[in-house]
Amino acid sequence: MQHVAEQIAAAAQAVRERWPDTPRAGIVLGSGLGALAEEIKVDTKIDYADIPNFVKSTALGHKGQLVCGHLEDVPVMAFQGRFHLYEGYSAEQAALPARLTKALGANALIVSNAAGGLNPHYSVGDVMVIEDHINMMFANPLIGVNDDNLGPRFPDMSCPYDHEFMEIAACVARREDFVLHRGVYVAMLGPTYETRAEYRMARRLGGDVAGMSTVPEVIAARHADMRVLGLSTITNVGSPDAPTSTTGHDVLAAAMTASAKLTKIVRGTVASLR
CB of 23 within 8 A of CB of 105? yes
CB of 56 or CB of 163, closer to another protein: 56
Q: What is the DSSP letter of 21?
A: S
CB of 86 or CB of 178, closer to another protein: 86
Binder of another protein out of 148, 158, 241, 244 (CB under 8 A): 244
CB of 94 or CB of 108, closer to another protein: 94
Secondary structure tally for the chain: helices H, strands E: 7, 9
Is residue 194 near another protein by the rule CB under 8 A?
yes
Considering the complex, what minimum distance in angstroms separates the CB of residue 240 from another protein? 9
Is residue 86 near another protein by the rule CB under 8 A?
yes
CB of 120 or CB of 191, closer to another protein: 191
Is residue 205 near another protein by the rule CB under 8 A?
yes
CB of 114 within 8 A of CB of 33? yes
Distance CA(105)–CA(12), nearest Å, equals: 10
217 three-class SS:
helix
Binder of another protein out of 20, 152, 191, 206 (CB under 8 A): 191
CB of 226 within 8 A of CB of 98? yes
Is residue 206 near another protein by the rule CB under 8 A?
no
Q: Is the bond leading into 191 cis (omega within 30 degrees of zero)?
A: yes
Considering the complex, what minimum distance in angstroms separates the CB of residue 9 from another protein? 28
Distances 170 to 66, 124, 225, 238, 262 between C-alpha atoms, Å: 28, 19, 23, 25, 12
Among the residue ranges 80-88, 143-151, 164-172, 257-265, the one whose residues contact another protein (CB under 8 A): 80-88
34 three-class SS:
helix
CB of 75 or CB of 141, closer to another protein: 141
Give contact residues for another protein (rule: CB under 8 A).
58-60, 85-88, 138, 189-198, 200-201, 204-205, 243-248, 251
